[in-house]
């Protein structure tokens, strides 16, 4: 906000050099008068150790006066941070302590401005360097003289290595303070390095040096062009991933950002971390998903009823009854001489049904043929049904029904193994099912990256786990890189996260960086790379979702071999019977007749 208009809205507490405390209901009391609900959005704080050293330049303004030891108590009840701090100080050491105290107490925000009032002209350059050491480039230094105020501003050169203090203007009182635009860091730091630390998070962050570095890294290339900065990626540090995955801890990352080792962190950051970091606008909506192996169906279990009921009952029972009826039917026709035994009829019908050649000839009379044709038509219908059932069982999904919620997961008795960071989610959950899940969760201590847990679950298929990260279009970041597991695993969301990038808290460049990222989102660049990576992985791992089997095991294809072996065995049995009948009629029966003829008449 422009200070010319802002100062008109400020409030102050100073009556006769006394400090007045704030009461609990955010009221400031002045001579028994109460000012409630003041607009602390435009609050300016005047800091000095001497209550009687208000310069005459403020004689027409109302300011809040406070000493540094009372600053935290004064500002704590306020709903918003002050917009500026006006610090009157000639002692360089005391000024350094004051700035350090304010910044360390988190009483500032990104666009907070500092006005350093001094009567010491010799310290102007040192004051400017001190302000830059605390990364406060939008602050001004005001030199107080007997009848005028000289305003100095900082000029940043050589990517911050050199700081110059330049005279901006001279005014007679604070109401004439010049209006300036906010610092344009693009012009000031154009071409300067911007240091990035990162953590693996497929498909968002893969390999910053690879041909497909990840969606976030592609996005940072666009940011590099917009900001005019040169991106420098720090070497990969596994500790970021380990701390976040194991305990959702950001200690090392916070230290590296505070020590200016990096300016931006690209990795698993969400809105829950807004108290620790300044964050970019939400880049994508991300789900933590349960990944649960679906039970592999034993196809043989579904085929046994069909094979037993149809093959044995119809094949043996019905076929035998029809054979018996046909045997007596042909006794009424001239075909009786062709089928002198029930076994001949049975073998003829069985061979005709399965299309096997038989030694028994087809009937010649009209009545027998009509009956046989009607029976074969019914057999064809039954055979079609049996074959269709077998083909349907073999060509359908080999996996059981999906598990779609926490209640079904609990009823399935599938073990649940997650990283320790994910275990925290269940421990703090209040939902009834989440509490029960927390009791069954076990921690995987030897794994640090959440994607590795998903890979292990896919290989072993003996436990359920959680995987990150959901795309806006339903499919998750983990699953988008493995599109062929959606048929063999169940997934349902556990927690929704709003993913961002992280920057240090309350630094001068966050506002402008946030505007640039917002512009990137509005241009649709994020959506573009999302779709490109989604299509890339879909083509790379292409599987026909309706006609392919996703996991092939011996127990899945065994029913096919069993059917084949049973067919061979049945054909072999029929062959043996045929051969035995042939041998009986060819050799044994004449021998029996000869033996009968040689018997005495009394034994015949």
Q: pLDDT digit string (tens) for 79-132?
A: 556 667 778 777 788 888 888 877 776 666 666 778 888 888 888 999 989 988
Number of domains in the chain: 1
Q: State the number of CA atoms in the 13 A half-sphere of 229 facing the CB.
A: 23
Return the pLDDT at 194.
94
Range of the domain at 138: 3-183
Return the pLDDT at 448.
63
Asked if residue 471 is part of any domain, the answer here is: no
Return the pLDDT at 306.
65
Which long-range contacts link 420-426 to residues 24+ away (Cβ below 8 Å)? 420/245, 420/246, 420/247, 420/445, 421/244, 421/245, 421/246, 421/247, 421/248, 422/288, 422/450, 422/466, 424/247, 424/248, 425/288, 425/494, 425/495
DSSP SS3 for 216: helix
Asked if residue 228 is part of any domain, the answer here is: no
In this prediction, the residues of the chain whose per-residue pLDDT falls under 70 are: 1-83, 105-111, 173-183, 298-300, 302-316, 354-361, 393-397, 421, 425, 427-431, 448-451, 468-484, 541-560, 563, 588-589, 592-604
Asked if residue 170 is part of any domain, the answer here is: yes
Interhelix angle for 215-227 vs 510-522, to 10°? 120
DSSP label of 39:
-
Asked if residue 570 is part of any domain, the answer here is: no
Identify the helix (H) or strand (E) that includes residue 474.
none
Asked if residue 101 is part of any domain, the answer here is: yes
Asked if residue 203 is part of any domain, the answer here is: no
Q: Assign 3-class secondary structure to 257-315.
A: HHCCCCCEEEEEEEHHHCCCCEECCCCEEEEEEEEEECCECCHHHHHHHHHHHHHHHHH
Place of tokens 């012009």: 187
| Alpha-carbon span 589 to 593, nearest angstrom | 6
Integer-rounded Cα Rg, in Å, for the chain is: 43
The CATH number given to whatever domain includes residue 16 is 3.40.50
Asked if residue 460 is part of any domain, the answer here is: no
Interhelix angle for 554-583 vs 366-395, to 10°? 160
Asked if residue 32 is part of any domain, the answer here is: yes
Question: Does the reported pTM lie above 0.85?
Answer: no
DSSP SS3 for 212: coil
Identify the helix (H) or strand (E) that includes residue 388.
helix 366-395
DSSP label of 586:
I
pLDDT by residue (tens digit) across 402-432?
A: 888 888 888 888 888 887 767 776 766 666 7
């Amino acid at each position: 906000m422009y200070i010319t208009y802002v100062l008109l809205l400020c409030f102050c507490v100073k009556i006769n050099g006394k400090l007045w405390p704030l009461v609990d209901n955010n009221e400031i009391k002045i001579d028994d008068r109460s000012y409630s609900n003041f607009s602390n959005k435009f609050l300016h704080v005047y800091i000095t150790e001497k209550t009687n050293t208000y310069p005459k330049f403020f004689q027409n303004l109302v300011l809040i006066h406070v000493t540094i030891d009372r600053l935290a108590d004064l500002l704590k009840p306020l709903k918003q941070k002050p917009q500026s701090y006006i610090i009157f100080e000639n002692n360089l050491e005391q000024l350094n302590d004051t700035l350090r105290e304010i910044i360390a107490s988190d009483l500032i925000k990104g666009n907070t401005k500092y006005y350093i009032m001094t009567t010491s002209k010799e310290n102007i350059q040192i004051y400017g360097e001190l302000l830059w050491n605390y990364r406060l480039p939008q602050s001004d230094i005001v030199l107080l003289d007997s009848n005028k105020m000289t305003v100095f501003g900082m000029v940043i050169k050589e990517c911050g290595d050199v700081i110059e203090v330049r005279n901006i203007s001279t005014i007679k009182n604070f109401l004439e303070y010049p209006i300036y635009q906010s610092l344009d860091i693009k012009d000031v730091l154009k071409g300067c390095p911007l240091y990035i630390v990162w953590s693996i998070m497929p498909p968002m962050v893969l390999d910053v040096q690879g041909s497909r570095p990840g969606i976030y890294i592609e996005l940072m290339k666009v940011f590099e062009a917009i900001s005019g900065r040169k991106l420098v990626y720090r070497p990969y540090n596994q500790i970021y991933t380990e701390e976040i995955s194991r305990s959702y801890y950001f200690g090392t990352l916070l230290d590296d950002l505070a020590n200016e080792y990096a300016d931006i962190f690209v990795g698993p950051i969400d809105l829950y971390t807004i108290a620790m970091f300044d964050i970019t606008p939400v880049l994508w909506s991300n789900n933590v998903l349960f990944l649960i192996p679906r039970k592999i169906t034993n196809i043989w279990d579904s085929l046994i009823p069909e094979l037993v009921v149809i093959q044995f009952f119809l094949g043996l029972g019905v076929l035998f009854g029809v054979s018996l009826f046909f045997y007596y039917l042909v006794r009424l026709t001239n075909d009786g001489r062709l089928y002198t035994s029930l076994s001949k009829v049975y073998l003829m019908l069985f061979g005709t049904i399965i299309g096997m050649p038989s030694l028994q000839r087809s009937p010649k009379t009209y009545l027998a043929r009509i009956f046989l044709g009607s029976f074969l038509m019914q057999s064809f219908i039954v055979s079609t049904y049996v074959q269709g059932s077998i083909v349907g069982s073999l060509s359908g999904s080999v996996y059981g029904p999906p598990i779609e919620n926490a209640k079904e997961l609990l009823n399935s008795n599938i073990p649940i193994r997650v990283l320790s960071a994910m275990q925290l989610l269940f421990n703090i959950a209040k939902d009834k099912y989440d509490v029960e899940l927390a009791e069954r969760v076990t921690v995987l201590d030897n794994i640090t990256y959440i994607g590795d847990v998903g890979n292990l679950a896919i290989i072993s298929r003996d436990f359920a786990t959680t995987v990150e990260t959901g795309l806006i279009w339903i499919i998750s970041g983990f699953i988008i890189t493995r599109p062929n597991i959606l048929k063999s695993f169940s997934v349902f969301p556990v927690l929704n996260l709003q993913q961002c990038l992280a920057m240090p808290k309350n630094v001068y460049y966050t506002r402008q960086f946030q505007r640039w990222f917002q512009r990137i989102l509005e241009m649709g660049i994020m959506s573009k790379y999302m779709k490109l990576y989604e299509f890339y992985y879909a083509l790379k791992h292409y599987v026909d979702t309706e006609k392919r089997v996703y996991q092939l095991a011996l127990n899945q294809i065994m029913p096919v071999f069993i059917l084949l072996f049973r067919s061979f065995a049945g054909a072999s049995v029929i062959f043996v019977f045929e051969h035995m009948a042939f041998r009986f009629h060819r050799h044994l029966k004449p021998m029996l007749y000869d033996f009968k003829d040689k018997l005495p008449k009394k034994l015949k």
